[in-house]
């Protein structure tokens, strides 16, 4: 038993890959609710809590965290198996940003007191997080954010609004970037907070998207008092904390999960439409299959950094770019192969089965935008990885010159 109360039955990394795979598969197949497989939209917590609470009790909720913090401590190969087994069975994802981002961030930037305070709630799934980064006037240009946090005694008073906060209406906490020094150069006056959404003064309003889902939200802050202890990292040093959270996010968006799921849907639809053996279709399927395989290979090298408790460098953006644009390409081919069924919303009969043909389309479409648009990712790589020179400033751009910006929504 470690100090976070999570016990691992064994050191999973000592198992043969095939043994570990069989074990994970057996658990999922025996216990994952059949009606929740391949959900076409994000599920609400009440719909899926039974499964994830089971995972939490089993100690399987944080596969990539080190065991000393209550995770499974899986090495990259095992982590990929763990993820791909969920993929294979169409296991839903919950709003797991606490697992994927807050945990690693607290390990690197939090105090011991903050880890003790926040990690147990994440591990038990009682606390679930959304990401308060983007604002109406600060999307990819995140450093322009205006939400204010003004120090008042042992608390900060927050005013402003956040947007594109996925599932804010279904979680308990928000991670927030807010301006604590309005006079500093853009990135330097920002601090990072964890806030309970039940705090007085917070209003959440869902936004309907073009898929018909209500997953995105706006979050309004009106004189919201946040204890100083909820600030992560130093005052005005939140940009670096936020950036490290984004680098975890890019690893997460860059997992092979979404493209692998999309590829499986593509193969199924090609089969149901009797087109799997078409010479041209086969060639495109084979190419996409290797595109997914090489994403896995690429992911493995970044996952190794996470498992060792590190933070990936700016080159991690290539994962996000490749994973999301690959999913878009798969979605395009699904549309081409689906015929008239490709226009039908929700489940439709294709060959012998009911499938949601547009599911991948609507999953892929926003993915090149969220987590920092792919264009901004390319800017970051060009400057910080390839060492290419900055663009000259636009005339009339009065803002001080900056390091590359990086934005996010999720």
Partner 1 sequence: MTNSPNTSSFVGAAPEEMLADLKAVGRKAVPPDVARVRALRDEGQDFDRAQWQRLVDLGWIGLSAPVHLGGEGAGMDVVATVAEVLGRAAAPEPFASAAVLPLHWLAQLPGAAEQVVEDIVRGELIAGPAWQDEAGSIAVASPSVRANGGADAPVLNGTAWWLPVPDADVFMVLAQLSGEPVLVRCARDQRGLTLVPLELADGSRSAHLRFVDAPIEPAAVLARGDRVLRTLNAAVDATRLAVSAELLGVMERALEITLDHLRQRVQFGRPLGSFQALQHAAVDLFIQMRLTRAALEGATRVWTDPGSTDRDRAAASSSVKARASAASALITTKAVHLHGAIGFTDEHDLGQYVNRAVVLGAYLGTAHEHRDRYQELTDDEGLNKVGVAQ
Picking from 166, 162, 105, the residue whose alpha carbon sits closest to that of residue 130 is 166
Q: Binding marks (x or -) toward partner 1, 311..350, rule CB under 8 A? A: ----x--x--xx----------------------------
**76-89 and 17-31 are packed helices; what angle lies between their axes, rounded to 10 degrees?**
30
Report the C-alpha gap between 347 and 368 in whole angstroms. Answer: 25
Contacting residue, 286, 345, 347, 402, with partner 1 by CB under 8 A: 286
Tell me if 157 contacts partner 1 by CB under 8 A.
Answer: no
Q: Are the CB atoms for 20 and 12 separated by under 8 Å? A: yes
Coil, helix or strand for 105? helix
Minimal distance, residue 80 CB to partner 1, in Å: 11
Residue 369 near partner 1 by CB under 8 A:
no
Task: Please give the residues from 12 up to 41 whose contact with partner 1 meets the rule CB under 8 A.
Answer: 16
Among 296, 314, 332, 369, binds partner 1 (CB under 8 A): 296
Number of residues that bind partner 1 (CB under 8 A): 34
Stretch that binds partner 1, among 66-74, 157-165, 211-219, 383-391 (CB under 8 A): 383-391
Looking at 392, 394, 397, 401, which residue binds partner 1 (CB under 8 A)?
Answer: 392
User: Which span sits near partner 1 by CB under 8 A: 125-133, 224-232, 242-250, 282-290?
Assistant: 282-290
Instruction: Rule CB under 8 A: say whether 144 interacts with partner 1.
Output: no
Nearer Cβ to partner 1, position 62 or 318? 318
Give the residue, chosen from 3, 37, 116, 293, that forms a contact with partner 1 under the rule CB under 8 A.
293
Please say which residue, 176 or 380, places its beta carbon nearer to partner 1. Answer: 380
Coil, strand or helix at 181: coil
Catalytic residue of the set 85, 87, 135, 249: 249
Q: What is the helix, strand, coil percentage profile of the chain, to 5?
A: 50, 15, 35
Tell me which stretch binds partner 1 (CB under 8 A): 51-59, 173-181, 213-221, 279-287.
Answer: 279-287
Query: Are the beta carbons of 320 and 372 closer than 8 angstroms?
Result: yes
Stretch that binds partner 1, among 185-193, 209-217, 292-300, 339-347 (CB under 8 A): 292-300
Contacts of 355 (CB under 8 A, 6+ apart): 265, 268, 269, 272, 341, 347, 348
DSSP 270-287: HHHTT-TT-HHHHHHHHH
Number of Cβ atoms within 10 Å of the Cβ of 42: 18
Question: Does residue 200 touch partner 1 according to CB under 8 A?
Answer: no
**Cβ distance 188 to 239 under 8 Å?**
yes
388 binds partner 1 (CB under 8 A): yes
35 CB-near residues (< 8 Å, 6+ apart): none
Chain centre distance of CA 299: 14
The stretch among 81-89, 157-165, 169-177, 281-289 that binds partner 1 (CB under 8 A) is 281-289
Give CA–CA dist 277/223, Å, rounded: 62
State the Cα torsion 267-272-273-277 to the nearest 10°. 60
308 is catalytic: no
Q: Which position among 212, 227, 283, 351 is part of the footprint of partner 1 (CB under 8 A)?
A: 283
Binding site for partner 1 (CB under 8 A): 16, 282-283, 285-287, 289-290, 293-298, 300-301, 315, 318, 321-322, 375, 378-379, 381-383, 385-392
Provide the annotated active-site residues.
249
């Amino acid at each position: 038993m470690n100090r976070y109360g999570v016990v691992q039955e064994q050191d999973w990394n000592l198992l043969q890959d095939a043994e570990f795979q069989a074990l994970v598969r057996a658990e999922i197949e025996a216990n994952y609710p059949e009606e929740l497989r391949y959900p076409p939209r994000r599920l609400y917590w009440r719909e899926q809590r039974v499964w994830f609470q089971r995972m939490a009790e089993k100690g399987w909720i944080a596969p990539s965290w080190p065991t000393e913090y209550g995770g499974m401590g899986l090495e990259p190969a095992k982590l990929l198996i763990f993820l791909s087994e969920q993929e294979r069975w169409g296991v839903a994802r919950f709003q797991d940003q606490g697992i994927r981002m807050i945990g690693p961030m607290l390990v690197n930037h939090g105090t011991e007191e903050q880890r003790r305070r926040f990690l147990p709630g994440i591990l038990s799934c009682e606390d679930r997080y959304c990401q308060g980064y983007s604002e109406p006037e600060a999307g990819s240009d995140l450093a322009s954010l205006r939400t204010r946090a003004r120090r008042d005694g042992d608390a900060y008073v927050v005013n402003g609004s956040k947007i594109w906060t996925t599932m804010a209406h279904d979680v308990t906490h928000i991670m927030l970037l807010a301006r604590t020094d309005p006079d500093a150069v853009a990135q330097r006056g920002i601090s990072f907070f964890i806030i309970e959404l039940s705090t007085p003064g917070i209003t959440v309003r869902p936004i309907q998207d073009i898929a018909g889902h209500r997953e995105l939200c706006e979050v309004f802050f009106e004189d919201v008092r946040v204890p100083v202890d909820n600030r992560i990292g130093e005052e005005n040093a939140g940009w670096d904390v936020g950036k490290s959270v984004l680098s975890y996010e890019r690893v997460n968006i860059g997992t092979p999960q979404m493209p692998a799921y999309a590829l499986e849907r593509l193969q199924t639809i090609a089969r149901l439409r009797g087109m799997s053996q078409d010479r041209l279709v086969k060639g495109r399927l084979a190419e996409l299959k290797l595109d997914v395989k090489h994403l896995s290979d690429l992911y493995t090298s970044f996952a190794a950094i996470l498992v060792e408790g590190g933070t990936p460098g700016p080159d991690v953006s290539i994962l996000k770019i490749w994973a999301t644009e690959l999913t878009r390409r798969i979605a395009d081919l699904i549309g081409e192969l689906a015929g008239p069924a490709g226009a039908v919303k929700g489940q439709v009969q294709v060959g012998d089965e009911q499938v949601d043909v547009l599911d991948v389309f609507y999953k892929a479409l926003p993915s090149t935008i969220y987590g920092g648009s792919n264009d901004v990712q390319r800017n970051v790589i060009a400057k910080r990885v390839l060492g290419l020179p900055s663009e000259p400033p636009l005339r009339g751009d009065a803002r001080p010159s900056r390091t590359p910006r990086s934005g996010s929504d999720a």
